[in-house]
Structure 1
Amino acid sequence: MSNKEEKLPILTRFLTLWIFLAMIFGIGLGYVYPEVANIIGSLSIGTTSIPIAIGLIWMMYPPLAKVRYEELRKIVTAKGSREMLSLSIIQNWIIGPFLMFLLASIFLAEYPDFRMGVVLIGLARCIAMVIVWNSLAEGDNEWAAILVALNSVFQIAMYSILAYFFITILGSWLWGESLVIQVSVLSVAQSVAIYLGIPFLSGILTRFILLKKKGRRWYDEVFMSKLSPTSLFALLFTIVVMFSLKGEYIVALPLHVARVAIPLILYFVIMFLISFFLGWLFKIDYARTTTLAFTAASNNFELAIAVAISVFGLASGEAFATVIGPLIEVPVMISLVNLAFWLKKKLYASKVSTLKHN
């Protein structure tokens, strides 16, 4: 976020520190007070954790309220939009799933339950926290909204098919296991509706209602300047809750966490770098390139966790791997935010923020 928009400079200036402190606090809370996980777990409707859902929805609401929905049609039809959409689809729905499947097969060959959980993460494309990472890295908010909406549509249509293909067909051929996995399209749609639909609808209604009543200047300079920082507080809250849920396991089973972490870290970094350099290669500006990279590198861990729990059970290794996923993703993504700014200096130095760099 820019200094003009941010009214809490201490929070944004040391955001990386606050995130790591939130992670440590969450782990410590879950380890010292294991009953905290039970309390949080009891606050659920089906496989949806109410505290996590509240944190994620509020975390996404301010960035989505900032999106210029009235200009989306113009943005999508603008020069260079075809490259953005094509690269996003290829990265998210072809390269991403195959890359995660390959990494899981290599690094978790002796741990089939962890391997399965990691594959489920790779199939679930991000529609939630990527909004925040993109905003922190000064990516394009409008394109972030477009790409997560695109991912949500593909997710409803393709997740069940891809899960069957990668685990039942490809897994049987490569792993020698004949496991049939079925994922309800309805469960995927429910996850998308909760974690993307609610904040999306709230952001749209907020923007159009307040713009009509108060005007654009008040909305941008007064309302958004007060609302934007709350997204970061929601992020920290969500991190504490997520890490406290598995704090005891993280401390007690560090080797298992490390095993799951290796393919995930490689995946996040490789996907980010491939996507970023593809954007730069196609002469797309920094803001859109950053959005492309984060939407390709992030994953919808809420959906992966819900599927793992419903198919394999709460105490399964598959569920454990999917829960470890976001715990690894958070520190990696905040590191990639800093990497994005470094790449901006190296690749986009002295460039004007236009659709294409010279």
Structure 2
Amino acid sequence: MSTTPTPEHPVVVGKLSTFDRFLPVWIGVAMASGLLLGRLIPCLNTALEKVQVDGISLPIALGLLIMMYPVLAKVRYDRLDTVIGDRRLLIGSLILNWLVGPLLMFTLAWLLLPDLPEYRTGLIIVGLARCIAMVIIWNDLACGDREAAAVLVALNSVFQVVMFAVLGWFYLSVLPGWLGLATTTIATSPWEIAKSVLIFLGIPLVAGYLSRRFGEKTKGRTWYEQRFLPRIGPWALYGLLFTIVILFALQGHQITSRPLDVARIALPLLVYFAVMWCGGYLYGHLVGLAYERTTTLAFTAAGNNFELAIAVAIATYGATSGQALAGVVGPLIEVPVLVGLVYVSLALRKRFHTTAEVPAVRPEPAETR
């Protein structure tokens, strides 16, 4: 994406590319293509499900790695200390992600799906799986703080490994019991969660860090940011579109054959994304965070790790269960909603204080941040 240079943002960028300008269209096409492929080729989801190693879908893993690497290669790792020292940001992230998020999803699931226990349980599991992958690209598109995103995603990853099973037990067994509601359980282990974190975050994070370190060491920062990053930058969106096609192709038949169920599941998800995103922006505004970190906080709070939620639902309840379908509907709703919120964020930017380093619209393909 590109912008007009200003004295406070002395960057040389080109015009907004056709690809960037019609990004919502491409994402819509990717979603529709995945759904149609899953519907028209009944054996496709079976074939895709077989291409996995130790329960990890290789096509999805490939798409996420391609998507995340360019963004994490842009992070200036020598500035992470400024994020770690921002207690307002870190405390806000922990509260929104690990207190507000799960409780909000639990409340919405019981209020809006009281008669559909399988979908209700699936949504509660979604609420426990905090985002560590796709949020990276939403944040980047909205011109959020890349360094802050890297730190918050890493923080979510640690808490996910430690707290997911504990919170699953609390929200599915303990809290419903206290309230006189039906209880259930999930079967997952810290290793299963850690494996997801290591693959979907660890690999691209290490690759991005090494790329910047050795790229700057051998060629210098100017070459790295003005020549290398523009070459790999577009691959983040290519990876996103590929991942969307695969995700929707895997469950295209279920989604298109049960439209009323999808609509019931979609309602609490829409409310959830809106409340969490607005909560992030409200918190950022109240504590005086700049636009970039407020945006990062909002998107990391609103996003969820659907890969993990789907994997846990399938392992516990089966691939054709209502719990798994609830997880699959998650990205069906999240993708268009968060794309829309990217543009809302950019429109709100003028109302916030912004740092001097981030241009009004992220420059692609001439990234020099």
* Both proteins in one fold, TM over 0.5: yes
In structure 2, do the counterparts of structure 1 residues 43 and 227 end up closer, same or farther at CA, with 3 Å as the change threshold?
A: same
- Is 1:136 the counterpart of 2:131? The answer is no
Matches within 5 A, 1:275-314: 275-314=280-319
Q: Name the CA distance, whole Å, in 2 between partners of 1:22 and 1:6.
A: 26
Aligned pairs for 1:244-255 within 5 A: 244-255=249-260
Residues 1:11 and 2:13 aligned together = no
Query: Of 318, 322, 325, which residue of structure 2 is paired with 1:317?
Result: 322
Partners of 1:161 and 1:284 in 2: how far apart? 31
Provide the alpha-carbon RMSD of the alignment: 1.6
Alpha-carbon distance in structure 1 between the residues aligned to 2:102 and 2:134 = 19
Counterpart Cα distance in 1 of 2:126 and 2:13: 34
- 1:166-315 map, 5 Å: 166-174=171-179, 176-315=181-320
Q: Is residue 83–residue 151 contact of structure 2 (8 Å, CA) maintained in 1?
A: no
Query: Where do 1:47-196 residues align within 5 Å?
Result: 47-77=55-85, 81-174=86-179, 176-196=181-201
Matched, 1:353 2:358: no
Partner of 1:110, secondary structure, is coil
Q: Does 1:27 align with 2:35?
A: yes
Query: Are 2:341 and 1:339 aligned?
Result: no
2:45 match? 37
Distance 2:284 2:356 in 1: 13
Partner of 2:9: none
Deviation beyond 4 Å, 4+ runs, structure 1: 3-8
Structure 2: which 5+ residue stretches go unaligned? 4-11, 358-369
Change (3 A) 1:47 1:147: same
Give the Å deviation of 1:313. 1.3
Q: Secondary structure at the match of 2:130?
A: coil
Q: Distance in 1 between matches of 2:299 and 2:291?
A: 12
- Asked if the contact 2:60–2:246 (Cα under 8 Å) also holds between the matched residues in 1, the reply is yes
Cα displacement (A) at 1:354:
5.9
Distance 1:8 1:44, change over 3 A: farther
State the alpha-carbon separation in 2 of the partners of residues 5 and 26 from structure 1: 34
1:341 CA drift (Å): 1.3
1:174 shift after superposition = 3.4
